[in-house]
Structure formats: structure tokens, C-alpha cells
Amino acid sequence: MEQHSNILKYKHLGIYTQNENVVYMRNDCHVCISEGFEALTRIRVSRATRSIVASLNVINSDILLPNEIGLSDAAAKKLNVSPNDMLYVSHLEPIESLSHVRAKIYNQKLNYDAYNHIIKDIVEGDYSNIHLSAFITACAGDRMDIDEISNLTKAMIASGKQLNWNKEIVVDKHCIGGLPGNRTTPLVVAIVTAYGLTMPKTSSRAITSPAGTADTMEVLTNVTLSADEIEAVVKKEGGCFVWGGTAQLSPADDVLIKIEKALDIDSEGQLIASVLSKKAAAGSTHVVIDIPVGETAKVRSMEMAQKLKTRMETVGNAVGLNVKVVITDGTQPVGRGIGPTLEAIDILKVLNNETDAPKDLTERALLLAAELIELSGKVVKGKGLETAQQILKSGKAYEKFLAICKTQGHFSKPVLAPYKIEIRAEKSGSLKRIDNRKIAKLAKLSGAPQSKSAGILLNVHLGEQVEENQLLYTIYAESQGELNYAMEYKNNHMDIITIN
Amino acid sequence: MEQHSNILKYKHLGIYTQNENVVYMRNDCHVCISEGFEALTRIRVSRATRSIVASLNVINSDILLPNEIGLSDAAAKKLNVSPNDMLYVSHLEPIESLSHVRAKIYNQKLNYDAYNHIIKDIVEGDYSNIHLSAFITACAGDRMDIDEISNLTKAMIASGKQLNWNKEIVVDKHCIGGLPGNRTTPLVVAIVTAYGLTMPKTSSRAITSPAGTADTMEVLTNVTLSADEIEAVVKKEGGCFVWGGTAQLSPADDVLIKIEKALDIDSEGQLIASVLSKKAAAGSTHVVIDIPVGETAKVRSMEMAQKLKTRMETVGNAVGLNVKVVITDGTQPVGRGIGPTLEAIDILKVLNNETDAPKDLTERALLLAAELIELSGKVVKGKGLETAQQILKSGKAYEKFLAICKTQGHFSKPVLAPYKIEIRAEKSGSLKRIDNRKIAKLAKLSGAPQSKSAGILLNVHLGEQVEENQLLYTIYAESQGELNYAMEYKNNHMDIITIN
């Protein structure tokens, strides 16, 4: 109907809006007038056989002509448009799955088909940020039971690619974040693949933290590999440590996580579905989950941790994963470095068995590697730790680490940031408390993870006796401005480290 | 800290995004680089003593230079900027009230202070659409008890202007929408002000319907008046029918309602707070609420209506309003016209006591006017209807209506749309069902309310015997394209009117 009149010429505006699709049209363009489109109307935009849903922003200046149409960068990429392409716009048919979201808002229990329908539409990009926020909120606050979490997880697995390694046992690990510097993953990969297990590890970049595993490993090697390249590395070395962003595993998760970040919530149901869907889609069979518990960690009480453990293991079972949850100490940062480069330095020290390698990081990595080795059934229960220790001590883990890095592209040594400032104790006493959230915030203000070599190098741990003027930590930054930012925050927050 | 470097020159981009504040900066501008701003970062933008919070869209084309900054139209208006003004941008301090939103997401009960804090920040524009959607969702699905609804209502009243008419009794009415053509408000205003009561009626434009009272009245008179002009009209005539959009009454409501529209939900707590906060802020003392109940109305069952009635009356009492709820028939449209002009024609027929005036509209208007007259205590219970009838029959209501219109600026006669198509019965039988939602959708596709004279003129009512080929309704439109749109929808939906 009137299709000929709903065609506009694409002009590149170069506006980046993250995941949200935005379409730009003039208020006096014939399509806006005849269709009654107003700002924020959700519109279908098509080119050839592709189409997307986008929110309208109305232009009343000459950055567009009345017969032109613009798109946000993500939307333009999805439609694969070039300047002067003709685009067809139309009213959006109702998004049927929103009726399930409304049902969830009104406290109804959703079945697999409903979650599947919602997740499919989210992956299609049909949901606006308003819709996504409503879905996340409606699922938060203990409003999903175990069946629902399982169904959401299954729907998220089905929404993207699913890898198959043709191995009986494929191991993986995941840590329920919140602990700065807790960079055990590269160590665990090195140990268990040196032992002979298959561990095709995909990691995320930082979401709210000063470094994700992918950020840290990017200091040492190339982490952006295609699916084919990942397959080749794993075939050769038994494992990898790559960024999971291009793998299209559980793509709905990537969309939802950005909204959760904006809301600063991480609800139990979404958390479980997020973690387990990524693991299952990546072809894992045996997974160890690390839940650090501490007052300023993500999980703050043993009770919450136990509940999460039970649910993780139950949902894991429902989606065909053998899940073992390990509850660990989350009262302070792990290792010395917080920030990609500083964490990479810690990792190399552990792998090289250096005398000043951080003991806590070493022990955690060994514990998790041991759990995976035992979970795989290859050694008897209780013998995992000894096996892991032998592999690390012998240098086999380091050899394997280097081999994987080189197969991924190269191995590069970490280089410290040019600007730094040392923070010293203002009084003597016992080190009582380290605020994980605030020290992470400090590292972020210094520039991490965008500035790879920025961050914090910790010199002290909980319970230690500290003398006045003793070095507590060093802040590293890549510019004086960022160093100033971090210092301003530090000076306004005297409880980052508490000495009694 | 580094403030001098955080200054950029304003360039007008002319991008309208409704209520959401958006700030545009180049990816290679020194501020984005030094501050680590990324797309969707929430940023504070200041000029002189004013400041706003806006979401960042990152520009990578030459619509901005690296030292320039753009704003969405609403944001530019709030900051009162002109081209080449220098704007200062900074990191956003945490929005403290979001902790209350998170508490609500996690099912906690919020007190007055928490709602007040949230509503203040919403009015300030500090919440993104993601935050607003989470707040609305967390409050939906029966998650607010009666104390919370009262506290939210009080917070919304306090968030904007509060009118005071210096009268002991100021009446108002409200209908819980969902019934096409139910345009009783102008009739009720005419009758009760002719009777001598004070009724300073502010109305909304259509949100999801083919016409709001303000849209309909705009066909006949000027409805966009300043606060001073409204006061003058009410002082002279005892009442008015104006658009409430400029009155700054319960401004948070205007923000929340747009998000509710996008989600297509209208949760009980928000609905009650929305309606009663507007009435209280407008200085009303006695309010009649009309709740039409029907399968395709907004309230679908008598049980829901009774619950809503109790809560409306309780919350009204808590905020100092004398509220009477009237539950009415919501099974079919009211009157003949659906759309601003067609409804205006119905209104004039009723006021002129014409023989073909829609009886159902007349009866509803008389019922509501009678309830208000009785609620005011000026006549004994049971005598309100007789009083209202006399005023309408005598022509006094019409006189008053004309007088108010003229005092508001002018009185203009409605003119029908140039394009129309008649829809006739395909078979004989009894008229079994009219789908309120679908006939409203049909009127909207024909162009209402943007095209004022577009809409539907109904020729039949429920229960009537219809002959094959008898005229059921006429679709009016201001362009052939819109008429085609409506016809396409009509041809795809055979259950708009059901004949057995």
C-alpha cells in the first residue's frame, strides 16, 4: 500500500548509539507526514531482503534533506547499507512477544516457548531499551523459579551459534565477578590443557570492572579470532583464551548485559542464564563456577552463595551441563595487579614460579584447575591439586601458555604505564579492610581497561601489620589527567583501605 | 580538575528525541578521549548555572567538529542554549535515588521520602528511559500496596505546580479511558458550570486513543492557554476545557506516561497516582471517576473495577480528595463519532438537544454531571439527575459552552473530512459485538487524532437488528493514502463488528 512513497535515500550520519537502532528522518519528509510517524515511534526499515526495527529521532535541521534517511551505526551495519541506497520504511507490526513480557510484569510464570519467543525478538533487535529494561526488571527480584531460569537458559542457548568440539569432555570455568585482580582463567587454561583436557575458553571484556579476562590477555596476545581460527587453535593446543564477542554465542546475553549494567543490577535468574547459556553454547560439558563471597564482592553472604550454588547446579543439570560450584574467599582483591597490564604481569610471575609471584592467585588457580581435573574424572577425587601443582611447578603450564599465545598470533611482554603515584600508609596498624568496589573504581578512574597499562598495584593484604609511610599501593595511568582523576577520587574516599 | 579542557562549543543539530536528553560529541574530541566517555554514558552538561543529564551518542562524521557538542532539542531547550555557546561536560555523580528503584525491583516497600526522591530526579530529567522503564515495571503487577500508592501520589503532587482557586468546592471528573467516542467531559463542564459549580478542566491529548478531550475541543476552540489565561477564563465563566500540557501539574506523570505507552501497560498503582496527582495538583476538591467496564475496554471485569474503585477512593482520601467512582458500561463505543471532529459534532448535537443527538452520550454526561452536583452537596441525593437534565434541556448548558469557548478565544464549527468510505453489513443479523480496541485502531489508521477530521462515524449499536448492505459505519480521512491504510486494516480484521 503506497509503498512507492515510503522510500528514502540513505545518508551516512555517523552516530553511534551502542546496541539501540535509531532511524533519523526529517519532520517535513513525506513519509513522516503521510504515516504519522513521531519521535520514538518504532519503525521497520528495510533494504532488499533485510530489515530492522528502529526508534525514530526526528530531524528539523539540514543534516538531512527531506528525501533522506539516516541510521545509527549499528543499524546501518545490520542493514549493510551504503550512501544513496534506497530504504523502505513502514509501520511496525506489533511485537507479539511483548505480551509475554507484560504477563511476566503481572507476575505470571512463563514457559519455554514464551522465553524463546522473547529471546528471539531480542536477538532480532526488535526490542527498544525500554522493552529490554522492563523484561530484565520483571525477571529480577526472585520472580523466576528454577523452571523459568532453566527455560530462559535453554532459550538463550538456542538463540545463537552452538559449538561442537567432538570431544566427550570439554571443560570450562567461570567466576561470578566482583573481585579485582582475580585473573585465574589464563592460569587454569594453561594448567588443564597442559594436562591434556580440552578448554576452548572464550572470555568477555570488562563490563563494570577494571579488566575482563579478554582485556588482560590482549596485553599478551591476540584475542580477536574468527570462529575458524579459534577452532584451529583449540585443535592444535587443546585450548585458547580468546574474546567471545565475535562468537555469536548466546547473543541475547550481550544485549541484556548492557541494560543490566545501566541499571546496576545483576539478578539471580539472568545471571544464571547468562553464565550457563554461554558455557553450553560454547560446547562445554564440565564447568567449575567460582563464587567469591565477601562484604564488597558481588555475592555478599554465604547464604546467598549457597542458594546460588544450588540453583546453578540444578539449572546446569537441566541444560545438560555437569556443574560444580566452588565458594571462595571474596574479602579482598586477588594478586597484586588490578588492570589489564598489571594483571598480566601477575600471571606471568605465577607461570614462571617466580619467588614474588602472588601466592593467593597461584593457590586459587591451582584449586580451580584441580576441581576441573577431578570433575573430568581423569584422576581420583583428592588427587587433582597434586596434579595441578606438578604441571605448574614443572614449567609445562608456562610452555603451554606460550604455545597458545603464539598460535593465537604472538606473545608480547607487558609494559608498565608512564605515570604513577605511590599511596602510603598515614598511620601504623593492622590492615583491617579493603573495599573491592572502591579500589576497582579507583583503577577505572586511572584509565583501566581502555588504557591497558593503567590500574593499581597492591603492596599489602588483609591482616598485615603496616607501618606509617609504608607503601600501600601504586596508581598507574597513561596520562596525567587520568592520574589526577584517580587521586581526586582517592582523596574523597578515605575508606578504600582501612588500617586500625 | 582539568575543567578548562571539558568545554565544547554548541552546534544546533535539530534532533528531536521526545523527553530523552541526548548529547552528541565526536569520538575524537578531546573530552571523550580524556574522560573515557563512550556511547550511552550518562553525562552532566552545564551552561552557566543550569545543568542537565544526557545520554551520549558518539559522532564519527562531520556533522560535528571535534571541538563541538550537540544536544537533542528537549535538552537544548532545558539548557536554553544558542549556537556557539560554550558548554561544560562532566562525569555524572551517581543518581542516589536509583538505589530506591533497585530496592523496589527487589520487592522492598518504599516510603514517602524514597518516592519523593525518585520523582524529583525524574522531573529533573536525571533518569534515562532504561531507568524509567525499570521503575514503572518494578511498581507494576500489584507490587505497590495502598500506602505506597498514596506516597507516590503525594510525591507526584509535590513535584510540580499546585493550583489554588480559593473556592471551597472545585469539581473535576476523569474517565479511565478505553472507550472510543466517550467524550462526556465538555458536556459535563458545560452542565455543572451552568449550574454554578467551579470546574477548571485540564485535559490531555490522545496517548493511545484516536482522540483526547483536548484534541476534540481544539476543533471547536483554542485549548492552549497560559496559566494566567486559564485563571481569567475560570474566573469569568466558572470553568474551562483546556489542554493541561503547559500547566506543569504533576510533571513526572507526563514523563512516566510516555514510557507506559511504549510498554503498553497501565499498572494500577501508576494509574491511580497519575489520575489523582493531576486532580489534586489542579486544585480540585471533589472528583468523579468514570470506570467503563467491558471485554475490550481498559478495565475488563467488574472485579477489577471494584478493586480499582476501592483503591481510588482510599488513595483520594489519603491525599485530601473527595472521590466518587462510578462504574459504567464499557461494552461499546459511546456516541457516533470516533476522532476529534466527529466527536465534536456529537457534542454540539447533545448541547443543542437535536433529535438525532446520540442518546448514550447524553445519558452518560447527565449521569456524571448529576454525580458531581450531588457530590458537591448542593442538592439532595437523588436530585442531581433532574437538575442536570433541566440545565441541558433549557439550553443553559449550550449557552455556557459557547461562552467558555469564546472566552478561550473563539468558537468554530466542525468540518467533515474530504475522503470517506462507507462500510456496509455483509449479512443480516443481530449486532453481537463491537471491538473497542480495533475500531479505535481503525480510526487512528485513518489519521486521527493528528488529522482532526479523520475517524469513524458509527451508524449502529449493540443488539440492533441489521439488514444485509445496511450502513455500519463511515471511515473519514484527510488523504486517500490514510483511507487506504484504514481499509487495509479493516479488510484484515473481520471481527471489528460481529453480526450473528
Closest residue of chain A to B258, computed from CA coordinates = A40
Q: Does the CA dihedral B192-B194-B199-B203 come out positive or negative?
A: positive
Query: Terminus-to-terminus CA distance in chain B, angstroms?
Result: 76
From chain A residues 439-468, the ones with a CB under 8 A of any chain B CB are 447, 450
Give the one of B1, B39, B101 whose C-beta lies nearest to A17's C-beta.
B39
Query: Is B220 contained in some domain?
Result: yes
| pLDDT tens per residue, range A43-68 | 999 998 899 999 999 999 999 999 99
Burial of A124 (0-12, 13-18, 19+ CB in 10 A): middle
CB-CB neighbors (< 8 A) of A63 in chain B: 13-15, 63
Spatial contact of A215 and A241, defined as CB atoms under 8 Å apart: no
Same domain as A452, residue A384: no
Bridge-based pairing of strands A239-243 and A199-203 is parallel
**A-B contacts (CB, under 8 Å):** 171
The catalytic residue positions of B are 266
Same domain as B457, residue B486: yes
Structural domain tally of chain A?
Answer: 4
Copy the grid coordinates of residue A264. Answer: 546496576
Looking at residue A297, its pLDDT comes to 85
Q: Model-level pTM?
A: 0.87
Report the pLDDT averaged over residues A449-474. 95
What is the nearest CA distance from A182 to chain B, expressed in angstroms?
Answer: 24
Query: Is A429 contained in some domain?
Result: yes
Same domain as B134, residue B17: no
- For B176, half-sphere exposure in the C-beta direction (CA atoms, 13 angstrom radius) is 32
Query: Is A275 contained in some domain?
Result: no
- Domain of B348, CATH number, reads 3.40.1030.10
Using the beta-carbon criterion (under 8 Å), do A39 and B27 form an inter-chain contact?
no
pLDDT above 70: percentage of residues in chain A: 99
- Domain of A51, CATH number, reads 2.40.40.20
**Which of A408, A436, A458 is where one domain is finished?**
A408
Interface check for B130 against chain A (CB to CB < 8 A): the answer is yes
Interface check for B211 against chain A (CB to CB < 8 A): the answer is no
For A311, the domain range is: 171-247+282-408
Q: How confident is the model at residue B465 (pLDDT cuts 50, 70, 90)?
A: very high
Residue with cell 480496541: B437
Using the beta-carbon criterion (under 8 Å), do A34 and B481 form an inter-chain contact?
yes
Is the pLDDT confidence value at B133 over 90? yes
Q: Cα–Cα distance between B350 and B337 in angstroms, integer?
A: 12
Residue with cell 531482503: A49
pLDDT above 90: percentage of residues in chain B: 77
Nearest alpha carbon to residue B57 among B17, B18, B26, B93: B26
Give the one of A263, A484, A485 whose C-beta lies nearest to B131's C-beta.
A263
**Which of B345, B380, B408 is where one domain is finished?**
B408
More confident residue, A153 or B209: A153
Looking at residue B345, its pLDDT comes to 98
Using the beta-carbon criterion (under 8 Å), do B481 and A2 form an inter-chain contact?
yes
| pLDDT tens per residue, range A165-212 | 999 999 999 998 778 999 999 999 999 999 999 999 988 888 778 999
Interface check for B265 against chain A (CB to CB < 8 A): the answer is yes
Q: How confident is the model at residue B48 (pLDDT cuts 50, 70, 90)?
A: confident
Report the pLDDT averaged over residues A271-281. 94
Q: Which phi and psi angles does A163 have, rounded to 5°?
A: -85, 150
What percentage of chain A's residues is helix, strand, coil (to nearest 5)? 45, 20, 35
What is the nearest CA distance from B461 to chain A, expressed in angstroms?
Answer: 29
Amino acid of residue B291: I
Looking at residue A134, its pLDDT comes to 97
Looking at residue A1, its pLDDT comes to 40
Query: Is B127 contained in some domain?
Result: yes
Looking at residue B206, its pLDDT comes to 83
CB-CB neighbors (< 8 A) of A482 in chain B: 34, 36
Same domain as B70, residue B109: no
Is the pLDDT confidence value at A2 over 50? no
Same domain as B397, residue B299: yes
Interface TM-score (ipTM) > 0.90: no
Burial A319-346 (b: 16+ CB within 10 A, else e): bebbbbbbbbebbbbbbbbbbbbbbbbb
Spatial contact of A450 and A394, defined as CB atoms under 8 Å apart: no
Same domain as B303, residue B238: yes
Interface check for A141 against chain B (CB to CB < 8 A): the answer is yes
CB-CB neighbors (< 8 A) of A133 in chain B: 129-131, 133-134, 137
Copy the grid coordinates of residue A296. Answer: 564488597
CA distances from A204 to A247, A447, B278, B485 (A): 11, 18, 47, 47
Distance of CA B76 to the CA centre of its chain: 25
Same domain as A339, residue A242: yes
Q: Does the CA dihedral A304-A308-A310-A311 come out positive or negative?
A: positive
Is the pLDDT confidence value at A7 over 80? yes
Report the pLDDT averaged over residues A88-107. 91
Spatial contact of A47 and A80, defined as CB atoms under 8 Å apart: yes
Give the one of B16, B34, B128 whose C-beta lies nearest to A481's C-beta.
B34
Average pLDDT for chain B? 93
Interface probe for B, chosen from A2, A6, A15 (most Cβ of B below 10 Å), is A15
Bridge-based pairing of strands B465-466 and B429-434 is antiparallel
- Domain of B461, CATH number, reads 3.90.1170.30
Query: Is A106 contained in some domain?
Result: yes
Same domain as A136, residue A109: yes
Q: Cα–Cα distance between A215 and A250 in angstroms, integer?
A: 20
Query: Is A413 contained in some domain?
Result: no
**Which of A362, A382, A408 is where one domain is finished?**
A408
Copy the grid coordinates of residue B268. Answer: 494500577
Same domain as A437, residue A401: no
Q: Cα–Cα distance between A139 and A270 in angstroms, integer?
A: 7
What is the nearest CA distance from B489 to chain A, expressed in angstroms?
Answer: 11
Using the beta-carbon criterion (under 8 Å), do A36 and B450 form an inter-chain contact?
yes
Is the pLDDT confidence value at A247 over 90? no
Is the pLDDT confidence value at A4 over 70? no
Residue with cell 468558537: B411
Interface check for A235 against chain B (CB to CB < 8 A): the answer is no
Helix H or strand E segment including B397: helix B396-408
| pLDDT tens per residue, range B360-392 | 999 999 999 999 999 999 898 999 999 999 999
Same domain as B371, residue B229: yes
Residue with cell 539516516: A70
Using the beta-carbon criterion (under 8 Å), do A105 and B140 form an inter-chain contact?
yes
Query: Is A51 contained in some domain?
Result: yes
3 state DSSP class of A269: helix
Same domain as A394, residue A344: yes
Looking at residue A206, its pLDDT comes to 83
Spatial contact of B248 and B161, defined as CB atoms under 8 Å apart: yes
Give the one of B17, B128, B132 whose C-beta lies nearest to A39's C-beta.
B17
Same domain as A83, residue A110: no
Rg (CA), chain A: 25
DSSP string, B70-82: EEBHHHHHHHT--
Residues B272/B273/B278/B280 CA torsion (nearest 10 deg)? 90
Which range (B17-26, B126-135, B201-210) has the least confidence? B201-210
Burial A172-190 (b: 16+ CB within 10 A, else e): bbbbbbbbbbbbbbbbbbb
- Domain of B153, CATH number, reads 1.20.970.10
Give the one of B5, B39, B265 whose C-beta lies nearest to A102's C-beta.
B265
Interface check for B1 against chain A (CB to CB < 8 A): the answer is yes
Residue with cell 574468527: A226
